[in-house]
């Protein structure tokens, strides 16, 4: 599993309203910049944006040497403590975002029965020029046996978005299958990304003290802005020691 070079990255705003979605966007940029530093390919699969420039959800595909080995420990609840831009009285708020890092599974390794799928198309509405707004390029897949719903709209063609959506669905179904060997699917989902509650954190980004704390390995780093700019090497290295 460590040698997997293609992964699905899923970020969701948790507790904290608008500030949580802004933090989710901060994390998305952090992973995108880290991918650029590593020379990996980073492509957006689907997003749900807010009016303040945040993300309710952000899903991307990363392709590069050591991607899964580097980022697998990022799965879980990330907590931020800072004064939001929307805060008038200067109070520090606590918000969360959940991150899931899933290995991408090749079609031959995990076969999905076409009869189990419900497929819907819609206008893309995303980047890519006027074409995506005129043609129904966005794809939404529902896996009827599990109720899982995934979508992709970043690409200009319906075929490309369907392939992306299938990759995302395979990754999620594979994780469910793996988890079922140990526990129920719902319990695994909770252990993977949690509910987004503030208490279920793996890492805290404390802006007033310019400190990041990983609660699993009990380590701390300073220089939040530098790390959010994609310089994750110190954290990733700490997990490999």
> Mean pLDDT of all residues in the chain?
86
Do residues 7 and 102 make contact, with C-beta atoms less than 8 angstroms apart?
A: yes
Query: Model confidence over 130-162: pLDDT tens digits?
Result: 444 456 788 999 999 989 899 988 777 888 898
Angle (CA) 166 27 11, round 5°:
30
98, 104, 127, 168 from 27: Cα distances, Å? 10, 20, 20, 19
Higher-pLDDT residue of 132 and 227 is 227
* pLDDT interval class at 192 (50, 70, 90): low
Residue 109: the pLDDT is 82
If one counts every other C-beta atom within 10 angstroms of the C-beta of residue 191, the result is 14
Whether domain 6-105+185-240 has CATH 3.40.50.2000: the reply is: no
Query: Model confidence over 12-67: pLDDT tens digits?
Result: 999 899 999 999 999 999 999 999 999 999 999 889 999 888 999 999 999 999 99
Query: Model confidence over 63-85: pLDDT tens digits?
Result: 999 999 999 999 999 999 999 87
20, 179, 186 from 182: Cα distances, Å? 31, 6, 12
* pLDDT interval class at 2 (50, 70, 90): low
- Contacts of residue 76, defined as CB under 8 A and 6 or more positions apart, other chains included, come to 98, 99, 192, 193, 194, 200, 201, 202, 203
DSSP 165-218: HHHHHHHHHHHHHHHHTTS-HHHHHHHHH----TTS-SEEEETTTTEEEETTTT
Residue 105 has pLDDT above 50, yes or no: yes
Residue 131: the pLDDT is 44
Residue 188: the pLDDT is 53
Do residues 176 and 149 make contact, with C-beta atoms less than 8 angstroms apart?
A: no
**Residue 228: its H or E element:** helix 224-228
Parallel, antiparallel or unpaired: strands 76-82 and 203-206: parallel
Residue 97 has pLDDT above 60, yes or no: yes
Query: Model confidence over 210-226: pLDDT tens digits?
Result: 999 999 999 999 999 99
- The tokens describing 157, both together, are 């063609």
Higher-pLDDT residue of 187 and 163 is 163
Q: In the chain, where are the structural domains located?
A: 6-105+185-240, 114-180
pTM of the model as a whole: 0.79
> What average pLDDT score do residues 177-192 get?
60
CATH of segment(s) 114-180: 3.30.160.20
Residue for token digits 């500030």? 19
Residue 210: the pLDDT is 97
């Amino acid at each position: 599993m460590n040698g997997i070079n293609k992964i699905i990255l899923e970020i969701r705003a948790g507790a904290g309203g608008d500030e949580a979605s802004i933090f989710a966007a901060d994390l998305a940029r952090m992973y995108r910049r880290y991918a650029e530093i590593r020379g990996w390919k980073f492509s957006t699969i689907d997003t749900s944006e807010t009016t303040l420039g945040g993300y309710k959800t952000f899903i991307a595909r990363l392709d590069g040497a050591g991607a899964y080995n580097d980022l697998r420990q990022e799965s879980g609840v990330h907590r931020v403590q800072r004064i939001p831009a929307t805060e008038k009285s200067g109070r520090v708020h606590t918000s969360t975002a959940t991150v899931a890092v899933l290995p991408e599974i090749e079609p031959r390794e995990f076969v999905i029965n076409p009869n189990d799928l419900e497929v819907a198309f819609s206008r893309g509405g995303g980047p890519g020029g006027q074409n995506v707004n005129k043609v129904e390029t966005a794809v939404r897949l529902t896996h009827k046996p599990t109720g899982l719903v995934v979508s992709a709209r970043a690409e200009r063609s319906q075929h490309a978005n369907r392939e992306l959506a299938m990759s995302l669905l395979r990754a999620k179904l594979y994780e469910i299958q793996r988890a079922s060997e140990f526990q129920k699917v719902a319990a695994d989902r909770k252990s993977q990304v949690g509910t987004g509650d503030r208490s279920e954190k793996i890492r805290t980004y404390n802006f007033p003290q310019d400190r990041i704390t990983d609660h699993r390995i009990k380590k701390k780093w300073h220089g939040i802005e530098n790390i959010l700019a994609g310089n994750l090497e110190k954290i990733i290295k700490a997990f490999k020691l």
